[in-house]
């Protein structure tokens, strides 16, 4: 069974509730244009003190300096790169001790060979839906596209996963599927997750 990541959290009380369901990862978005940007709602020391789930910081074309400082301030366990970050950029962060998830939006025409330069520079890939926003679009893609993925880097499955298809996602058969990533389809508003729905996820 793959692990579970709950992304796009920003309200402290809601985060405490989510942590009570014991997900493997929680995702915090450090991208100001996002409706799920943590902004001033989450103090670094408060986040740093959270136990249990591993904390993933989500960035979109941020500078290396910003990523390194934020990772230290908030005690992040992994960095998720959701922009056009190059293999060299990933390598530089990796050499500084950060664990990385590199995101790629996929569709039927996606060329998986473009991942080859990243394979020794990141720890995981995340495959998301091709949409207008960097993430949280709320709709999925045809997972059979991933039959073309043959690299050894494990991946997170994301994009449009909701209460109606979470069980199917958890049962998706691929040797490199590491975790399932849920976000907007489990929300009552951007950044606030419906705990009763998360509690019903079959693990």
Q: How far apart are CA 88 and CA 12, in angstroms?
A: 35
Q: How far apart are CA 113 and CA 133, in angstroms?
A: 24
- In sequence order, the 6+-apart residues with CB closer than 8 A to the CB of 112 are 148, 149, 150, 151
Task: For 67, list phi and psi in degrees, rounded to 5.
Answer: -65, -45
Q: How confident is the model at residue 112 (pLDDT cuts 50, 70, 90)?
A: very high
- Quote the DSSP letter at residue 62: -
Q: What is the percent of the chain with per-residue pLDDT over 90, rounded to a whole number?
A: 86
Residue 136 has pLDDT above 50, yes or no: no
Task: Answer yes or no: are the C-beta atoms of 4 and 179 closer than 8 Å.
Answer: yes
Q: How confident is the model at residue 95 (pLDDT cuts 50, 70, 90)?
A: very high
- Record the pTM: 0.93
* Per-residue pLDDT at 138: 52
CATH number (domain holding residue 25)? 3.20.20.70
Which residue reads 């591993």 in tokens? 54
Interhelix angle 64-74/87-95, rounded to 10 degrees, is: 40
Q: How far apart are CA 4 and CA 178, in angstroms?
A: 9
Range of the domain at 181: 3-199
How is residue 55 written in tokens? 């904390």
How is residue 82 written in tokens? 């959701």
Domain count, the chain: 1
Q: How far apart are CA 89 and CA 94, in angstroms?
A: 9
Give the 3-state secondary structure percentages of the chain, helix then strand then coil, rounded to 5. 30, 25, 45
């Amino acid at each position: 069974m793959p692990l579970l990541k709950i992304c796009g959290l920003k309200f402290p009380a809601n985060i405490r509730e989510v942590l009570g369901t014991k997900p493997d990862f929680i995702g915090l978005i450090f991208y100001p244009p996002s409706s799920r940007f943590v902004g001033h709602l989450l103090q670094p020391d408060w986040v740093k003190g959270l136990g249990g789930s591993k904390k993933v910081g989500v960035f979109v074309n941020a500078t290396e300096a910003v990523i390194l400082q934020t990772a230290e301030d908030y005690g992040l366990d992994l960095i998720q790169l959701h922009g056009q970050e190059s293999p060299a950029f990933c390598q530089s962060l990796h050499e500084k001790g950060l664990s990385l998830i590199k995101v790629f939006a996929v569709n039927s025409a996606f060329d998986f060979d473009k991942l080859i330069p990243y394979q020794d520079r990141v720890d995981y890939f995340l495959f998301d839906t091709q949409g207008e926003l960097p993430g949280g679009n709320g709709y999925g893609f045809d997972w059979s596209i991933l039959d073309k993925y043959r690299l050894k880097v494990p991946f997170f499955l994301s994009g449009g996963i909701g209460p109606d298809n979470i069980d199917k996602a958890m049962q998706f058969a691929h040797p490199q599927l590491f975790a399932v990533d849920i976000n907007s389809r489990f929300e009552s508003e951007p950044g606030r997750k419906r705990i009763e729905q998360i509690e019903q996820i079959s693990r």
